Amino acid sequence: MNASSVAFSAKQVSKDCACGIDTLCLESCRGLIKPLPACTPFSFRICDPLPFDTTTSPYGDDGMGIKGFARSIALLGLFSSFSAFAGKADDTLVYASDSEPENISPYHNDLREGVILGRLIWDNLVYRNPDSGQLEPMLATSWKQVDDSTIDFELRQGVKFHNGDAFTADDVVFTLNYVVSPDSKVVTIQNVDWIKSAEKLGDYSVRLHLKKPFPAALEYLSNAVPMFPKNYFEKVGLAEFSRKPVGTGPYKVASITSGVGVNMDKNPDYFQGSPQGQPKIGHIQFKVIADSETRLAELMTGGVDWVWRVAPDQAQSLKGMQSLVVTSGGTMRIGFLILDARGTSSADSPMKHLKVRQAINHAINREGLASQLVGGESKPLQVACYPGQFGCDTTAATVYNYDPTKAKALLAEAGYPNGFETEIFAYRDRDYVEAIIGNLRAVGINAKLRYLKYAALRDQQRGGKVPMSFQAWGSFSILDTSASAGTWFKGNPDDNIKDPQVQGWLQTADNALDPQVRKDNYRLALQRISEQAYWAPLFNYSMNYAYVSDLNFKPYPDELPRFVLSSWK
């Protein structure tokens, strides 16, 4: 389709509608409206007001208004060219997100986008059924707890990697020993630091040794410990593996283009008996589109089949489009601020003062963030974990109600009667961060936004160079507090606080076999984290998904879109 045909067709369709560019609304016909000859196979309606609220938000962000969306349409290429479309016709599901992992290896990135790719390309030893919550055999057919710190696994026979290599005990032993090696440069160390070693008992038998008892071991093995191909990985190394990955999963990688996305094809040799069944869609494409308006424009014009993180007002408006489906639901992901309580970011960091950290907690309107910006099932949060995780006792938290007057008083008591200037680092959800900046400014804290890619922010955070950062954490969908508070406060690379009391309680909780002992120690840790205001917990996320109406898709609270379970209608 060329520029003139699109412009001409748009004019034809809209000539009877007194609409200008500021009321631009496009709807992919997808067979619902008879296409104009010049627009085959798609045409676009430019007759209705844009289905997004154009009023300024309570936090002053009007970036999602009509004009911005119209500009995105133009940038998208509507008035230049369209060459290809996603969808059922060519059996290709195209999903888009705003970020891409720094490395496709699931052990060398900790972005949710990387977790999704990891589930498509690789398999775990164990599978947690998302509907029943039960653990089921996957690459392992059975397992036995030999003692408190030893687990034996019998492995599935007949499984092949994408390059044709057979899956055996050698691959499991290699993977488990590799990821705990310092030379592996794994960035998800919190997911494997409980592993001591693995040994081969037979061609399809493996013994896993734990450093200490770890009741959540199978939970981690079902979510965050996929199996790599020993021979191929040793031959090509991590750098080449990240460009041409090989797994046993339902989809195999056809190509990776940095900054653009990943193309995957259905694995025709995916093993029979997989608990998630056989893949039903022939091709899946992950597309990186940083701008939210452009993602929606692509969805509405046929370039994308599925998007998420749709703003609440947009989601509500999209529900009126016959060619799209919008679903919503709460997730395990939590949003929070990390405060530099040790003062490593600067010698005179105000964050070293408890009353400053308490003031920040009182300055933020959690209820407003949850209800007006995040929307849906989002709720204010006061504790450093997701309430549905084992051991996440919400009653352990100090309640920091929204009280700007008290925040100002605490700042004055800390020696900052006129407030201070600082920086807030972030990698996502700019509108949320800008709302937080507004709350802080109202009590005298002027925070300059430093917006970085996730990997860059993570490295600076781990290096102790960040006074305050906005973070979001989905716990790798692991329903245990060890995956939330344990990740950020137990002495791992992400622990900037390094409170020995908190570390001790978390370690005891992680290793105790008695569930009540685990709960008691998690409670003690969460209580101190809250009392010391090491964080400013904010809210749990609610997710809005929008996708084409001919796609069968079911969202889950663990924030893992399971495309392998999806199909075309």
Instruction: Note the pLDDT tens digit of each residue in 543-560.
Output: 999 999 999 999 999 999
Residue 69 or residue 450, greater confidence? 450
pLDDT in tens, 22-45: 223 333 333 332 233 333 233 333
| Structure letter (DSSP) for residue 36 | P
State the pLDDT confidence band at 201, using cuts at 50, 70 and 90. very high
- Segment 359-394, tens digit of pLDDT: 999 999 999 999 999 999 999 999 999 999 999 999
Report CA dihedral (158, 160, 166, 172) to the nearest 10 degrees.
-100
Both tokens of 107, joined, read 């052990």
CATH code reported for the domain at 332-541: 3.10.105.10
**Distance, CA of 187 to CA of 261 (rounded, Å):** 21
pTM summary value: 0.82
Within 13 A of 59's CA, how many CA atoms are on the CB side?
25
**What is the structure's pLDDT at 136?**
98
Q: pLDDT digit string (tens) for 143-161? A: 999 999 999 999 999 999 9
**Out of 41-45, 128-132, 191-195, 532-536, least confident range:** 41-45
211-217: average pLDDT: 97
Query: Would you call the peptide bond into 215 cis, given omega within 30 degrees of 0 as the criterion?
Result: no
State the helix-helix crossing angle for 230-243 and 169-179, rounded to 10 degrees. Answer: 50
Residues 432-439, mean pLDDT to the nearest whole number: 98
Torsion angle of the four alpha carbons 217, 218, 219, 224, in this order, in degrees rounded to the nearest 10 = 80
Q: Which of 241, 309, 260 is nearest to 104 (CA)?
A: 241
| Residue type, position 204, single letter | Y
Is 332-541 the same fold as 100-249? no
CB 167 within 8 A of CB 159: yes
Nearest to 27 by CA among 47, 6, 7, 2: 47
Task: Delimit the domains of the chain by residue range.
Answer: 100-249, 332-541
- Is the pLDDT at 327 greater than 70, yes or no? yes
Going through 368-489 in order, the beta strands assigned E by DSSP cover: 420-426, 445-451, 468-473
DSSP letters, 389-438, are SBT--GGGS------HHHHHHHHHHTT-TT-EEEEEEESS-HHHHHHHHH
The CATH H-level superfamily of 100-249 is: Dipeptide-binding Protein; Domain 1 (3.90.76.10)
Contact assessment for residue 112 and residue 100, using Cβ atoms and an 8 Å cutoff:
no
- Indicate the SS3 state at residue 98: coil
54-58, 84-88, 427-431: least confident range: 54-58
Q: Calculate what percentage of the chain has a pLDDT beyond 70.
A: 85
Is the pLDDT reported for residue 131 higher than 50?
A: yes
Strands (E), 57-107: 92-97
Confidence (pLDDT) at 85:
56
Q: Place 87 in a pLDDT band, splitting at 50, 70 and 90.
A: confident
Give the chain's mean pLDDT.
87
Is a pLDDT exceeding 70 seen at residue 52? Answer: no
- Give, in order, the Cα–Cα distances in Å from 350 to each of 343, 383, 387, 418: 8, 23, 30, 13
Residue 136 amino acid letter: E
Measured CA to CA, the distance from residue 483 to residue 487 in angstroms comes to 6
- pLDDT tens, residue by residue, 254-312: 999 999 999 999 999 999 999 999 999 999 999 999 999 999 999 999 999 999 999 99
